[in-house]
Amino acid sequence: MSRYLFLILVVACSRGEPAVDESARRADAATDSTFAAVQSRGAVAMGVDQYTSTHHFTPTDDGGIIELQRDTLDAAGVAQIRDHMRQIAGAFANGDFSLPGMVHNQVVPGTEVMRERRSAITYTAEELPRGAQVRIRSTDSVAVAAIHTFLQFQRQDHHAGMRH
């Protein structure tokens, strides 16, 4: 094993998350018909090809981050993602979680509490080099727990990772 690969594994393991080869994860996910349906509905909802974009759903002490970026520089796709994330931030702030419900074909865990406690949660869309993210923040421990539940479900259903 090369020293470089060993270092990557050590760092990944020390952060509590296994080292994941993105291409291997996507190949495994591509054989899952439920995942394919989520990807298809996601492409409609978000306006970009989900197989050529990368999602991250990262919990933080005060909430979390939803990130979506194109895998390559694609000006039209980047603009679409940024618009989508601004729309998501606005809808979530109003307690509207219908879009993730449509993408996942169910009520997404955590959203009922997030709706109930919407006045205690802020959603901020922020641009990234190849897309955007929605930063979710709260000082309400019940809201933060619901946000973490929401992000965990999203991470699993999208076969996505999280940033460290």
Q: Report pLDDT digits (tens) over 13-64.
A: 333 444 444 555 455 545 566 655 555 555 555 656 666 788 899 999 999 9
Q: How far apart are CA 87 and CA 131, in angstroms?
A: 14
What does the pLDDT look like over 112-162, one tens digit per residue? 999 999 999 999 999 999 999 999 999 999 999 999 999 998 888 767 766
- Determine the Cα–Cα distance for residues 29 and 40; give it in Å rounded to an integer: 13
Q: Which of 86, 52, 44, 48 is nearest to 66 (CA)?
A: 86
Query: Angle between the 33-46 and 22-30 helix axes, to the nearest 10 degrees?
Result: 110
Nearest to 150 by CA among 59, 20, 62, 36: 59
- Of 120, 158, 140, whose CA–CA distance to 37 is shortest? 158
Query: For the whole model, what pTM was predicted?
Result: 0.73
How far apart, in whole angstroms, are the C-alpha atoms of residue 63 and residue 70?
24
Least reliable range by pLDDT among 60-69, 89-98, 99-108, 144-153 = 99-108
List CB contacts of 80: < 8 A, sequence separation 6 or more. Answer: 46, 47, 48
